[in-house]
Structure 1
Amino acid sequence: MIAYGDLLPIALDAVGRAATFMRRQAPVTSTSKGDRDLVSEVDYAIERDLRSFLRNATPGIAFLGEEEGVSGTGELQWTLDPVDGTINFVRGIPLCGISLGLLHGVRPVLGVVDLPFLGARYWAAEGCGAIRNGQLVKVSDTTSLREAVVGIGDFAVGADAANKNRTRLALMAQLTETVQRVRMSGSAAVDLVWLAEGKIDAAITLSNHPWDMTAGVAIAREAGAVVLDSSGADYTSKSMTTLAITPGLAGQMLPHVRDAETAAIQR
């Protein structure tokens, strides 16, 4: 059996390197990589540095980066979003960070998220609990949707954005009539770690990229969150959506997502 916690010191070192670089390099220049989507030179620099660092430190583990794809093969794979929330970063909004996760097959088993401009680092490995700056964190005990604060992932851009956003708009319309507040931070990593420490009660992303989700899902699960896709099945890296929810709300939240998907199809 693999002791995922043994890899945490390496992951923490890697993310520490990236966080130091990120703090020193702002503000940045950026270029377009698609419709209303940006990438900065810091994204590329961090990804290249951590790809090299982790290849040397863990040569048997593959690597997937958002900007330059896969290197290596194997059952274990590091996943990296070098700057999660690039547009926030470029604009000087502090809701951004580094998200480094580990997949075992399709299952998130380790995560480190550093938010350099908020002074917060979160980490977890399967079976080891979730930590923020050295202190154990847990999800909220909220059980009423009317008391819930819900984080929603960004609206889609690029190809077929209008169709994809129908579901998001339908879900937003439902939730604004039901929950206490809806929030959109612009960073999946921020949403998931804030869920892990009880700042919000659900983090809903109607898409799924392993570099965005792996680290935050691992942390949220270790903090006690239920993480599903919209079918109600346990989340994996192959899921179409990412629904991370405090346990007392999971059964109440899932029908809203399904209703929004149905409403979007019928439009």
Structure 2
Amino acid sequence: MPDASYVDDVRLAHVLADNADAITVGRFKAQNLTVTSKPDLTEVTDADIAVEDAIRATLKRARPRDAVHGEEREDTGWGPRRWVIDPIDGTRNFVRGVPVWATLIALMEGDRVVVGLVSAPALQRRWWASEGGGAYTGKSLMNASRLQVSAVDAVADASLSYSSIHGWVDSGRGQGFVDLMRECWRTRAYGDFWSYMLLAEGAVDIATEPDLALHDMAALDVIVREAGGRFTNIDGVDGVAGPGALATNGRLHEEVAGALAPVEPTAELEPLP
């Protein structure tokens, strides 16, 4: 069970996720789903907006003194406690009918994430954690199993998950990423939140992306850490300040962070074997 310090916040996160799931499941594959483009050319659906508005409305009643940061609306409130919301992580999957998407809910105290929940109703999966209370997966607080990262201690035996290679090319770390892919035992682009939840379950050993926002990372951070792993930016600095994210089972972290260190750009990447 969660640490007593955050038990009420974890319960509230589950309530928020239940309400979000009711909205997203109802809009998934809907023929009249509305999709528009934001200024950064990423997609947003009417479901994204409805979920964030519903979460904000509940938080306004249940935690009126807490600040809220979300992907789709302006920040509200001010103070050391801040809820961080990604209404639909994996919006492009959601739009195309791919079931790999989730609502991400986190609570931060200052710069530290203390509660995180990931709900992927199309996969019928949910993961959550509180600082000091462990990480869990299951259908409810009373029906859950504890998460634990793998014990793999060699990159040559490791499974690596990522979202796409394009961002690595633009980051100046593309060759290092390709070399890391070559060295790993297995590579798959599970993508988005799922890479990190598979890592927390011990099914994946390394998960990384070069460019993420706070709302993409906050909930993932504490779940990975409470499962025994490590969550940093791609430079190996702990926390969710970016750039990007690197999560491992902990044993591999320093070696992988070193492999991803930036190098002088080259004309083109060596092809994968």
TM-score scaled by length of structure 1:
0.89
Residues in 1 aligned to 2:76 and 2:22: alpha-carbon distance in whole angstroms: 24
Question: In 2 relative to 1, CA 96–194 (structure 1 residues): closer, same or farther, beyond 3 Å?
Answer: same
Alignment of 1:1-267 (within 5 A): 3-27=5-29, 28-34=33-39, 36-133=41-138, 134-154=144-164, 163-164=170-171, 166-167=172-173, 169-187=174-192, 189-235=193-239, 237-258=240-261, 261-264=262-265
What letter matches 1:204 in structure 2? Answer: T
- Residues 170 and 263 in structure 1, CA contact (< 8 A), matched pair in contact too: no
Residues in 1 aligned to 2:117 and 2:265: alpha-carbon distance in whole angstroms: 35
- Residues 5 and 126 in structure 1, CA contact (< 8 A), matched pair in contact too: no
What letter matches 1:60 in structure 2? Answer: R
Deviations 1:209-258 (A, max 9, x none): 111101011111100111122333322x3232321111221122111111
Residues in 1 aligned to 2:35 and 2:59: alpha-carbon distance in whole angstroms: 26
Question: In 2 relative to 1, CA 71–224 (structure 1 residues): closer, same or farther, beyond 3 Å?
Answer: same
Residues in 1 aligned to 2:34 and 2:113: alpha-carbon distance in whole angstroms: 32
Residue 265 of structure 1, CA deviation: 8.1
- Residues 70 and 215 in structure 2, CA contact (< 8 A), matched pair in contact too: yes
Question: In 2 relative to 1, CA 229–186 (structure 1 residues): closer, same or farther, beyond 3 Å?
Answer: closer
CA RMSD in angstroms, aligned pairs only: 2.2
SS in 1 for 2:15: helix
SS in 2 for 1:121: strand
For structure 2, the residue ranges without an aligned partner over 5 or more in a row are 139-143, 269-273
What letter matches 2:170 in structure 1? Answer: N
What letter matches 2:91 in structure 1? Answer: T
Residues in 1 aligned to 2:74 and 2:115: alpha-carbon distance in whole angstroms: 20
Residue 35 of structure 1, CA deviation: 5.6
SS in 2 for 1:71: coil
Greater shift, 194-203 or 26-35, is seen at 26-35
What letter matches 1:224 in structure 2? Answer: G
Residue 137 of structure 1, CA deviation: 0.9
- Residues 150 and 203 in structure 1, CA contact (< 8 A), matched pair in contact too: yes
SS in 2 for 1:117: helix
Deviations 1:176-218 (A, max 9, x none): 210022222341x222211111121111121231111010111
Residues in 2 aligned to 1:178 and 1:64: alpha-carbon distance in whole angstroms: 38
Matched residue count: 258
SS in 2 for 1:251: helix
Higher relative contact order (CA 8 A, sep 6+): 1
Greater shift, 30-39 or 194-203, is seen at 30-39
For structure 1, the residue ranges without an aligned partner over 5 or more in a row are none
Residues in 2 aligned to 1:210 and 1:38: alpha-carbon distance in whole angstroms: 18
Residues in 1 aligned to 2:211 and 2:44: alpha-carbon distance in whole angstroms: 19
Question: In 2 relative to 1, CA 251–65 (structure 1 residues): closer, same or farther, beyond 3 Å?
Answer: same
Question: In 2 relative to 1, CA 155–4 (structure 1 residues): closer, same or farther, beyond 3 Å?
Answer: farther
Residues in 2 aligned to 1:3 and 1:128: alpha-carbon distance in whole angstroms: 9
TM-score scaled by length of structure 2:
0.87
